[in-house]
Structure 1
């Protein structure tokens, strides 16, 4: 419903309250559809008192609404976020922004940590993924580091300790914590979350995660179909052979078997073609760590093209550096020809993709006296070396051989090379999840919390936001496909696979209007916005007051 200043109702209304709804009604609809608050309240029951009228589930929903609001505000600034939002319509009747104050949210985060963030998250996520039939037989593991600003002093019991470690954010100067996720199913839903100290190693935490999930989900203990997929950090011969699970991993490029196969020319293999520019060649049994595993060498044309650009840049940088070094050598006078050649030789040793070819060694003469020196005063001042730089064709050819190549290994020998590649490429789901969590809108690196345990709890809420987001995006795309409908993408072209974030942006400007005694309405819903809201079902229709 749209209101204008000329509306005849306006003189009769003493006070009009207009609040921003935008896309938050869709987020609230998803939270209600998947019963996020109810599920959490069953696990974290609370006795309401004078301090607050909200449950733990409602407070976590408030944090998720803030996070998926993409407002570039830190998650724990929730009270400010709700000052101009219709919190009663979004969460529950009777609530106001002050009910989500810092004290209430802090106690909620403390409760999450006490209960166990990993246990709560896995239980909630697994319930939802089972109810909606989205559980698949493949689990994808990965970790990332979140760089943090601040000192973070305090009691670190039951909490990740911010430390300096291998920084995937390329900020080795900052402390960090490590977050480990496991995703599952066609929607790429996270079903496992855990945070670790900033110096935790993937080679350890990946196997710990697998052990935890197998114990947590009873059905997995005797399942022969489940497959655990991860990058090369999972590869540990002893741990993999003793894990008693099916696994698929990329083999570390540092292993001799990978180096040797990557360094060979294309003619050394019998390649089999796959789709999308991939091909593969099987690795001989005698080269493997175990004969009961499938090891396959893959080559990607797209990967090779990307890596070739990087190599060409390296070669160009190396040429520039060598030119500078050679200029310094050529500008130096040496006492004898041997010293000049030795200096040139030392410079040439550092050249990886080029060769330094001596052109000549030139004797330099000059006068030591000032004024008008006599010919007999001319002295030999030293020797200068002159050389040229040429490309090392053989070295460059050797550097090109490994481009676009990688080795995958699995103990599930029933998988074909094509299936192995398809499963491994699904790792992009968890990687996309980390990009979502690191979005600047979350301000995840500016977690200034006095209580260290709350960092862990807040990171779990971010993972829960990812779960809700991926659920919403997957079901929206599925409904568009089922109903043969489309939405415009950023360029205005019809698509059945829009990102949920773009859909959220299309709902900007929708307002929640309280007309006092005249009732409540939602303004600025166009035909396009109404179509989007209807795609999200009854919960969204109720929140936006559409019949």
Structure 2
């Protein structure tokens, strides 16, 4: 918190809008002694446990890494670690309380994903006069009612356009709409329904992709059933396998699958020996199964009626629907920080045994992320104030509108300064002269190119 306060003061950070999310940091090893919290230097450590892995590695133990960033440049302002199996909905109240202490205010806008939308979390923020924006989970009653309403009568809702995005030729790329009449949740918060043109397309594409994957699995299973050496001879086993395939994806209402039972009759010698005209045969009957399925086109058309919608809730009565939407759409800035943590910084694997040391190392990663983000913020602000639209930081000298710290480090990596001591005691300095691009970047960062090369008289 002291580091954050200094960053806020020195770089004049705006903390009126804060975004929160969490990720997991996985660890290879047993770590059996740290599956429960332990006391280290008067503090309780987090427990390293298996849980819902956001890295898709549920077989590994992990810690929860909770991060809050400012809207102003996406600068990290607070982080903490928690138990590896901790649910995200249990982290928001202590996080918000610490942010209140950090900012010295309660009216900052707190934005998070659907795990914030529990009655307990929202009531705590509302009682403390905090402001929030989040999205309602699909399992809440309000989204179910809206989807059913649109399914039954898609023309019953009157929509108004919030804003559109067009390309250079004026072609429509994106459009956001909201109902003309705003609703309230059962808890008394504003419920703002948003219809996204791009989401409508992606929802349909995701549905068809899921159907395609399911039918592919059914085809492979059908080939197993038709194999001469198949072991699937019991109807209940076939039915269980079909149900397991359908349960992987929510496509059961669009696919009707029929298990077809057939009888396979073979003749077998009643007695051993060489066959002759007098050989007696017995009839042996085995069950064989086949599959057939059909896609319900009518059900697909009905499902398309509710594509592209999502529900945002807030307790701020002064923000317009467009303001709420634009604020929530800034939430992905925190995903960029998680990406930098796991790619540029390579937070995993961690070669430490003691969990308190691991938590300390994660703090070092947080400080590195703060520095990295502040560098990005400062150079982008300098470009805006200087009227520079882009700099050639991409390969082949392609234009880069939003420089990252990683790109800056790569561009400046060839600069070097060597100081040699001769046998006579003289000092010889060897410099790498900055290129025009490097000089431009150094100036944008508020430094002098002469500091990186031979000083001119």
User: Do the structures match in fold with TM over 0.5?
Assistant: yes
Give 1:390's match in structure 2, choosing from 294, 298, 312. Answer: 294
Give 2:441's match in structure 1, choosing from 532, 536, 542. Answer: 532
Structure 2: distance between partners of 1:508 and 1:280: 47
The alpha-carbon deviation at position 458 of structure 1 amounts to: 1.6
TM-score (normalizing by structure 1)? 0.67
Match of 1:145 in 2: 24
Maintained 8 Å contact 1:533/1:541:
no
Maintained 8 Å contact 2:74/2:333:
yes
Match of 1:133 in 2: 12
Query: Is it true that 1:230 corresponds to 2:82 in the alignment?
Result: no
How many residues of Structure 1 are paired with residues of Structure 2 in the alignment?
414
The aligned runs of 1:98-113 (5 Å cut-off) are: none
The alpha-carbon deviation at position 388 of structure 1 amounts to: 3.6
SS in 2 for 1:252: coil
Match of 1:275 in 2: 164
Maintained 8 Å contact 2:190/2:315:
yes
Match of 1:504 in 2: 409
Say if 1:137 and 1:341 are closer, same or farther in 2 by CA, change over 3 A.
same
Give 1:213's match in structure 2, choosing from 95, 99, 123. Answer: 99
Match of 2:171 in 1: none
Q: Which moved more, 1:527-536 or 1:282-291?
A: 282-291
Cα RMSD (Å): 3.4
Give 1:419's match in structure 2, choosing from 308, 318, 323. Answer: 323
Match of 1:70 in 2: none
TM-score (normalizing by structure 2)? 0.79
Match of 1:301 in 2: 197
Say if 1:377 and 1:408 are closer, same or farther in 2 by CA, change over 3 A.
same
Structure with a larger share of its residues in strand: 2
Say if 1:191 and 1:342 are closer, same or farther in 2 by CA, change over 3 A.
closer
Q: Deviations over 1:446-472 (max 9, x none)?
A: 222344322222211211111111111
Structure 2: distance between partners of 1:271 and 1:262: 15
SS in 2 for 1:515: strand
SS in 1 for 2:99: helix
Q: Which moved more, 1:122-131 or 1:164-173?
A: 122-131
SS in 2 for 1:413: coil
Structure with a larger share of its residues in helix: 1
The alpha-carbon deviation at position 419 of structure 1 amounts to: 0.9
Match of 1:434 in 2: 338
Say if 1:145 and 1:392 are closer, same or farther in 2 by CA, change over 3 A.
same
The alpha-carbon deviation at position 309 of structure 1 amounts to: 3.5
Structure 2: distance between partners of 1:487 and 1:136: 29
Match of 2:268 in 1: 368
Maintained 8 Å contact 1:480/1:496:
no
The alpha-carbon deviation at position 363 of structure 1 amounts to: 6.0
Maintained 8 Å contact 1:149/1:445:
no
Match of 2:54 in 1: 168
The alpha-carbon deviation at position 424 of structure 1 amounts to: 0.7
The alpha-carbon deviation at position 543 of structure 1 amounts to: 5.6
Maintained 8 Å contact 1:143/1:179:
yes
The alpha-carbon deviation at position 307 of structure 1 amounts to: 3.9
Maintained 8 Å contact 2:393/2:403:
yes
Structure 1: distance between partners of 2:239 and 2:355: 56
The alpha-carbon deviation at position 237 of structure 1 amounts to: 1.0
Q: Deviations over 1:313-351 (max 9, x none)?
A: 22112112223444556679xxxxxx9999987777675
Structure 2: distance between partners of 1:213 and 1:253: 28
Structure 1: distance between partners of 2:206 and 2:400: 33
Maintained 8 Å contact 1:331/1:384:
no
Extract unaligned runs of 5+ from structure 1. Answer: 1-121, 333-338
Match of 2:355 in 1: 452
Match of 1:198 in 2: 84
Structure 2: distance between partners of 1:318 and 1:479: 51
Give 1:480's match in structure 2, choosing from 355, 364, 383. Answer: 383
Structure 2: distance between partners of 1:530 and 1:505: 14
Q: Deviations over 1:57-105 (max 9, x none)?
A: xxxxxxxxxxxxxxxxxxxxxxxxxxxxxxxxxxxxxxxxxxxxxxxxx
Q: Deviations over 1:390-447 (max 9, x none)?
A: 21223434554554332110011222221111111111121111111111x4332222
Which of the pair has the greater relative contact order for Cα pairs under 8 Å at 6+ separation?
Answer: 1
Give 1:522's match in structure 2, choosing from 418, 431, 435. Answer: 431
Structure 2: distance between partners of 1:509 and 1:501: 14
The alpha-carbon deviation at position 504 of structure 1 amounts to: 1.6
SS in 2 for 1:161: coil
